[in-house]
Structure 1
């Protein structure tokens, strides 16, 4: 076990699976107490069973787009860990659809799923982060928040909005000891991503294309994203705020 986050108290939304769970695990390995939340209690129980082997870990189910749920989760996390100085928001959703086809209700659903968790999570956490005297907020955006992508109008718009919110919040918090940054991964083979690929007519070919779209011809790895999340949460990043880190194998520089 490392020690870069020793003594820190981290709340992770979307922490039951995928990138959120990988980040929670990396936090725990570096010495932080962790508290995870998501909508599926069974997955949270599985996650905490794993995280508890590394250190103090708890969970509370909730919908990160609902203000009352976020308030309840935050209160439970603070009570469980004895404070809160680290917040990571990995909750979100996607949608395939162009400007010609998308329905307003689908655009609204994806926007709410990708934007509200960061807004509500940061608002609920703010008093505790300020009380801690120093802290960090990390949002999981996407490389598609930095560049456009065909038939991803809702996803690109909402992930770009996350980056805009990160930059605005970073300035709000800058003189108060709290830093705010965004991770912008390329294609990472999470459980959900692989399930989506299986819906393609030729899953193997679809997966091959997704891997090769990066200049570094492979998918990103969960542990690579998690490593960057640890850096943003650590005191090593005390002079880093308002940044959107592209972890995309060179996709956005082509």
Structure 2
């Protein structure tokens, strides 16, 4: 297995995209510390290679609590996956500074300072891999996503900057920009449309692959970026979207 003896820290690793990433990491032999507020569901809760730390990423203390938990549970981390994030739809006229600041705290500040908190552990191990989950909305935009798009574009930017700064330590930093990934939340969104069947069909037409993504699609890319096959790849934003952003829309 490609990640034997490696320890990965993943935020929000117990649900949605994060769970898909966790399951792929475990399948490749990694031990995983999941940092999130919700307790883990079975079978992750009882998995011998999984530990959990209760962490509120909106707080300034969370990155350092997570780093201590990684040291206590597994002796330190080789891999960081900054997966957890939040999203809301809000026009700039209605958005408050408090809402903006919370988005930036969770989506941007937490990943940056978690990388800082884990840096000594990665240096001690001779290097590592930081993988930030961005979004195609860090490249394009949907309506009323000023804060979300801003935060994800920032994730892509600091990914490149960390890659430049940390290369000397043997630490690579890349981002993944997922497109539409199927989940309970995305299904609820489709079902809330006036014509869910038509909405689903229209969504499929946006994807040259003929389908939307699955959490394990992102997990597979994480495993690649965490492993030895990608040691010459750093500072990149890997788009995983079934070709959605490559396809030019037509007005008819």
Pairing of 1:185-196 with structure 2 (within 5 A): 185-196=178-189
Matches within 5 A, 1:81-120: 81-120=74-113
Superposition pairs of residues 56-95 of structure 1, within 5 angstroms: 56-95=49-88
The question of whether the paired residues in 1 share the 8 Å contact of 2:9 and 2:80 is answered with yes
Distance 1:78 1:63 in 2: 18
Deviates further, 83-92 or 143-152: 143-152
Please tell me whether residue 161 in structure 1 is matched to residue 154 in structure 2.
Answer: yes
Q: 2:25 pairs with 24, 27, 32, which one?
A: 27
Q: 1:106 to 1:67 in 2, by over 3 A?
A: closer
Residues 205, 22 of structure 1: alpha-carbon distance in 2 compared, 3 angstrom cutoff: same
In structure 1, list runs of 5 or more residues that go unmatched: none
Render the CA deviation track for 1:155-198: whole Å, top value 9, x for unaligned.
Answer: 11111000001011111101110000001010001233334444
CA deviation after TM superposition for structure 1 residue 236, in Å:
1.0
Q: Secondary structure at the match of 2:32?
A: strand
Encode CA deviations 1:6-50: one digit per residue, 9 max, x unaligned.
110111111110111111111111011111011112xx2436236
1:6 to 4, 22, 37: 4
Aligned residue number for residue 38 of structure 1 = 36
1:128 alignment partner, one of 121, 130, 139:
121
The answer to whether the 8 A contact 2:181-2:213 is kept is: yes
What TM-score do you get using the length of structure 2 for normalisation? 0.91
C-alpha deviation, 1:119, in angstroms:
1.1
TM-score with structure 1 setting the length = 0.90
Match of 2:16 among 8, 14, 18: 18
CA distance in 1, matches of 2:197, 2:241: 21
Q: Contact 2:18–2:215 (CA<8 Å) still a contact in 1? A: no
Please tell me whether the aligned partners of residues 187 and 210 of structure 1 are also in contact (alpha carbons under 8 angstroms): no
Q: Is the alpha carbon distance of 1:12 and 1:147 closer, same or farther for their aligned partners in structure 2, counting shifts above 3 Å?
A: same
Tell me, what secondary structure is at the counterpart of 2:51? strand
Change over 3 Å in CA distance of 1:210–1:155 after alignment to 2:
farther
The CA distance in 1 between the partners of 2:116 and 2:59, in whole Å, is 12
**Cα pair 1:186 1:220 within 8 Å, conserved:** yes
Q: Does the CA-based 8 Å contact 2:57-2:105 persist in structure 1? A: no
1:250 is aligned to 2:246: no
Query: Residue 201 of structure 1: CA displacement?
Result: 4.2
Shift of 1:103: 3.2
Structure 2: distance between partners of 1:65 and 1:46:
26
How many residue pairs match? The answer is 247
